[in-house]
Structure 1
Amino acid sequence: MMFWLWQPIPHSVWEVEAAWANVLLTGLFWLGWGIVLLATFLISHFELFGLKQAIDRWRNTPQQAPTFRTPLLYKIVRHPLYLGFLIAFWATPHMTVGHLVFALGMSVYLFIGARFEERDLVVLFGERYRSYQSEVGMVVPRLNKTRR
């Protein structure tokens, strides 16, 4: 229904006209999607989309207990996938009202989802994850790292 009834809201909120800024914002947009793709592979792309679980179930392979790892981007932020999405949603040389509504809605959705995911990860990994939370920023890298 959403796609069938969708009506674009084309009114401009901002439009960057400087060529260098246009290139910069377009580059940031693609960087965001690159971060999303890399983050999915760092945490098991196939497990993220439920493919590994489905194949394991089909093969009658027992589920392995999740392991806590912080590869590459996960040493910088706890949710690089969300960071990539946020960059991709907001880095645009031409922001329309429709795009703004989408970016705001998805940003709120991502932060709500991150809070629920954080709660589940604390339950799953306990003190190890709490320590990780105190050392690494959720979506934005911490400039002032505090170590316990």
Structure 2
Amino acid sequence: MKRLAIFLYGVASYAIFFVTFLYAIGFVGNLPQVPNTIDGTPGLGFWSALGVDVLLLGVFVVQHSAMARPAFKRWLTLIIPQAAERSTYVLFSSLALILLFSFWQPLGGLIWQVDNHSGRLVLGAAFGFGWALLIYSTVLLNHFELLGLRQVSLQLLGKPYEPLPLQESGAYALVRHPLYAGWLLCFWATPSMSAAHLLFAVLTTVYVLIAIRLEERDLLAAHPEYRRYRQQVPKLLPRFGRKSPQDEKASELA
């Protein structure tokens, strides 16, 4: 029963994440299908709204970063089963986003507006590509591992958990952090950049750059081969014309 309960907890956490992820597309893209979007009608004064938005982003950043650190994971697994650790992270990340979506305050004002039809199509395509790159990156990393379902499934079957090897193929052969590159595209590719959207994009970009440094420190500790990978592959923007890590390995073997 305990194994089944952990498994159902993982499935429920994933389901909440999935709905939250779909809502995030509508929130950032100002789609009419969602009730609250990043550029809705302002309901507070500018400075009050700014304070609320910064606080909401701060809650998400602290939760998302702190719970990802190895020290926090070790502490958390003293309280909950280890198999449920990743699902708990996914659940709390989703709750932090739901809090942000629910109480986000539009600021009004327009930073830029692209009216040209072709320009809007290009930015819309970049926005869609960003979300597709996000999903594709999770598949390369093992989508179910990243979101906790693999861990709870293995414990349900009574099988030992084994960490996955470092991913260096696909988009990860071009850049070390395609998932973060996808996020940045999602946040910045918009034909209408409002003050609230700019605040969201700037603060999340700062967070991404800090998160990369923290994540790479953890990866170096967990995967000694990451040092070689980091030297060969750029961080966020691909350098075309250079051999991928797989091609370089093949050349060395030859």
TM-score when normalising by structure 2: 0.54
Point out where structure 1 has 5 or more consecutive residues left out of the alignment.
none
Please state if 1:66 is matched with 2:161: no
Q: What are the Cα deviations for residues 34-93 of structure 1, in whole angstroms up to 9, with x where unaligned?
A: 111111111100111112112223333211133123121000000101001101110110
8 Å CA contact 1:136, 1:145 repeated in 2: no
Unmatched 5+ residue regions in structure 2?
1-98, 249-254
2:217 corresponding residue in structure 1: 119
**219, 223, 226: which is aligned to 1:129?**
226
- 1:12 paired with 2:110, answer yes
**Among candidates 225, 238, 254, match of residue 141 of structure 1:** 238
Change (3 A) 1:35 1:2: closer
Q: Which has the larger radius of gyration?
A: 2
**Is the Cα contact below 8 Å between 1:135 and 1:145 reproduced in 2?**
no
Rounded Cα–Cα distance in structure 1 between residues aligned with 2:123 and 2:104: 26
Please tell me the residue identity of whatever aligns with 2:238: P
Change (3 A) 1:36 1:3: closer
| Structure with larger RCO (C-alpha < 8 A, sep 6+) | 1
Aligned residues: percent identity? 37
TM-score by length of 1: 0.90
Report the Cα offset of residue 3 of structure 1: 4.3
Superposition RMSD in Å: 1.9
Provide the secondary structure at the position in 2 that maps to 1:88: helix
Aligned CA distance change for structure 1 residues 69 and 5 (closer, same or farther; 3 Å) = closer
**What is the match of residue 37 of structure 1?**
135
CA distance in structure 2 between the aligned counterparts of 1:83 and 1:4, rounded to whole angstroms: 26
Distance in 2 (CA, whole Å) between partners of 1:32 and 1:3 is 20
* Residues 1:3 and 1:20: Cα distance change in structure 2 (over 3 Å): closer
Residue 14 of structure 1 aligns to a residue whose secondary structure is strand
C-alpha distance in structure 1 between counterparts of 2:153 and 2:146, whole Å = 13
